[in-house]
Structures are given as C-alpha cells and as structure tokens.
Structure 1
Amino acid sequence: MGLLPFISSLALGYLAVSNPSFFLNLSLSQQVLFWISTVFVMGLALCPTTFLAMFVGYIWGFQGIWPLIVAYSLASILGFGMAKLWKGHAMIRWIKRTKKGAQFLSNVQAQSFSWVFLARLSPIFPFAITNAMMSFLGVSFLDFCLAGMIGMLPRTALAVWTGTQAKSWEYLLHHPESFSWQDGASLVLLVLSGLGMYFLARRQVKA
C-alpha cells in the first residue's frame, strides 16, 4: 500500500522534470487516455492525490484543475463503489460493540454531508481510505459525491498552486522553506477539519 504510491510518485516526478514537453504535446486522444488513467491511479491508491495535483500544476498550471476535478470525482466514486462490494460488515460490528461506537456510527450517518466535507478538507486523511470508510459507514452516495467535491477543492487548488510555483521537483525537495505559505494553509485546513469533526461528534443525534 505504501510502496506503489512511492514508486509512482518518483516516476511522475522524474518524467515531469526530465521531459515536461512530453505531457504538453499529448494529442487529444492521448490526453483523454491520460485522464482516464488518473481515475484508476487515484481510485486504486496507486499515487497520492496531492502529489498528482502538484504534478498537474507543474505541467499544465491551473488549466489542468478542471479535468483533475472530474478525474478526482470519478476516482472517489470508483473507490466508494469498490468498498460497497466489500461491504465492511466486520468493521461495522466492531464499531457497534460499544454504546459510544454505535452513537458515533449514527452520528456519521445522520450528518454524513458534514463528515465527508471535513474529511476531504483535511490534508491528512488518505484519499482511498476515506472512500472506503465512508462507504462502510453507510454514508449516502449523494452526500459523498457533493460534499467530497466541495471539500476537496481548497486542498486540490492549494496543491495545484504549489506545482505552478515550483521551478522544478528538485527545488521543491531541497528547499522546504518555500512551502511556508502552503504549509500554513494546510495547517489551517487541518485545524478546521479537526474542530468541525469534534463538534459533530459531540452533537446529539435527534431521534
């Protein structure tokens, strides 16, 4: 689970630095094939979504954000649907084994839109795992799609902006001080997400 994303990130980073014109000169059919591939790459957790967003920003700038959003949404649906096939009954039984766990499950199901939004907003929640967890917890498909798309916009835009500002992947790796503004924004998203989840978890679900 960790090795494949690491290898794919290295491969994309190397291609972006060594031959960016390769991606800029793709034909229309090749571009369509590329974006279809990204759906499966993200949906199957083969590459970190944040890294892919940085890659898109580095190659295409903000022009690439719209196909990225579409690919991101389709990848979410793919992961959500695959998790539905696995059902996750064992995890649900494990959560329900205590009264607090059962209340938490009811809370998530009753306020699914807010939970999905905050999970997507936070930069620390892994994309594929969040897809599976929300499916296992019984979040509605509509809430998952809408809240997920809204929640992922700030962090995706931030990652794309980071890619547009980078002179090269080597500069990003060897000059972490250049991330000061982005890191601050990521921290704000993390704090907002954590506080939101805390207040949601404390809210009593109305019968």
Structure 2
Amino acid sequence: MNKKLVYETLYLVWMGLLPLLASGFLGYYALANPSFFTTFSLLGSVVFWICAALIMGLALCPTTFFALFTGYVYGFSGLLPLILAYSAASAVGYFLAKKFGATALLSRVPSSFLANVRSSSFSWVFLARLSPIFPFAITNAIMAFVGVPFRAFITAGTLGMLPRTFLAVFTGISASSWALLFARPELVRWQDVISVLLLIVSAVGMYLLGRRSMR
C-alpha cells in the first residue's frame, strides 16, 4: 500500500479522534474548577483564548464541546472571543494541512469534483461548516487538501460556524451543570431540531453543488 496514502489517512483519523479524548480532560477540569476560568486578568484571558485557538486548530478539543464549555463558564460574553478563536483555529488547521499535503488521497477523487469544489469554494466551505456532523479539524484539512483559497475558507467558514456556535453557547448557558446537560438531553430538544434543520440545509446544498460536477 502507498505509504503516503497511509500517512494521510492516519492524519485525518487523528484529526477526528484526538479531540474526543482531549475533551474529556477539559470537561472534567471545568466540572471540578469552573471558577478557575473566570478569574483571569486581561493578559491571562488573551493567553487563554490564544491557547484555545491552538488547541482547536491542532485538533486537541472539539469546537462544539468548547462552545458548550464557553457558554457554561462565560455566557454570551464569551461568544466574540470564541468566534475569533475559531477563525484563528481554522487558519492553524488550514496551514498545517497545507504543509502536510494529500496528493495520494486526492489522486483517488474525480478531477471534475475537485474542480467543482475549487470553483464554488465559498459555498462548499459554508455548507460544510453549517452541518453539525462535519468535524471542525477534518473540514480544515480537507478544504486545505483540495486547494480552497484561504480567504474564501476563512470568510465562509466563520459565517457557516455562527449558527452552530450560537446554538452550542446557548445550550451551555441553559445548563445549570455539565451533569444535567449530558444526563438529561431531553431538556434541549429544540436545539436538536435546529441541528437537524442545519444538517438538512447543508446536505441539500452539497447535493445541488455536487450535481454540477456530474454534468
């Protein structure tokens, strides 16, 4: 088997699985020490959000989990720095994937489809970010692999993340505790409905875009 293909595949697996492991540590620490994160000085807060961007950009924590954490700890006051951290994390993931490359994987994707993604990059990135099922880090890597322009990637990605981010932050605010949030998901059923709607919009949009490459 092509060694480069194996390395590229393992890279995507790392981007998908490692955040799940790291989020357990963050969640446990937030449960045990919630006040720790609200006592930072201005400099401490800046350092914290820079670290958050690096952690998410390097796929050390899922962005949705971090949004829940932000809502729980900071409320809506954490929304703006979270969005800025998301954008910075996107850039980290994008350039890391660019440096890594994925020639072996891309050779197995139809050239017409790749051309379609590049020509409609803004729409593809926006719809991928909108969908709740596309992992943040994997989307960063794939869009960089395909050759999506950085400006379109950042702009569309930030806009596409806004509904999911707001929803996750609001869910974190609504939970009186992490335990309640995860033990009684029936308390946030309306958020589930919105998530499904976002998924449908994303799926339909991608289907329509994908049809262009088949013509």
**TM bracket, shorter-chain basis:** over 0.9
1:184-203 equivalent positions in 2, closer than 5 A = 184-203=193-212
- Range 197-206 or range 71-80, more displaced: 197-206
Q: Does 1:21 pair with 2:21?
A: no
State whether residues 36 and 71 of structure 1, in contact with CA within 8 Å, keep that contact through their aligned partners in structure 2.
yes
Q: 2:180 aligned to 135, 149, 171, which one?
A: 171
Q: Does 1:63 pair with 2:77?
A: yes
Equivalent residue, structure 1, for 2:145: 136
2:108 counterpart SS class:
helix
TM-score, normalising length: structure 1? 0.92
Tell me, in whole angstroms, the C-alpha distance in 2 between the residues paired with 1:120 and 1:204.
21
Letter in 2 for 1:166: A
Equivalent residue, structure 2, for 1:91: 105
Segments of 5+ residues of structure 2 without an aligned counterpart are 1-13
Equivalent residue, structure 2, for 1:145: 154
Segments of 5+ residues of structure 1 without an aligned counterpart are 96-100
C-alpha change, 1:7 and 1:103, in structure 2 (3 Å) is: closer
Equivalent residue, structure 2, for 1:30: 44
Q: 4+ runs of 1 displaced by more than 3 Å?
A: 1-4
State whether residues 113 and 213 of structure 2, in contact with CA within 8 Å, keep that contact through their aligned partners in structure 1.
no
Seq. identity, %: 56
Tell me, in whole angstroms, the C-alpha distance in 1 between the residues paired with 2:65 and 2:202.
20
Tell me, in whole angstroms, the C-alpha distance in 2 between the residues paired with 1:69 and 1:9.
19
Deviation at 1:205, TM superposition (A): 9.0
Tell me, in whole angstroms, the C-alpha distance in 2 between the residues paired with 1:66 and 1:51.
16
Deviation at 1:7, TM superposition (A): 3.7
Deviation at 1:75, TM superposition (A): 0.5
Tell me, in whole angstroms, the C-alpha distance in 1 between the residues paired with 2:206 and 2:193.
20
Equivalent residue, structure 1, for 2:130: 121
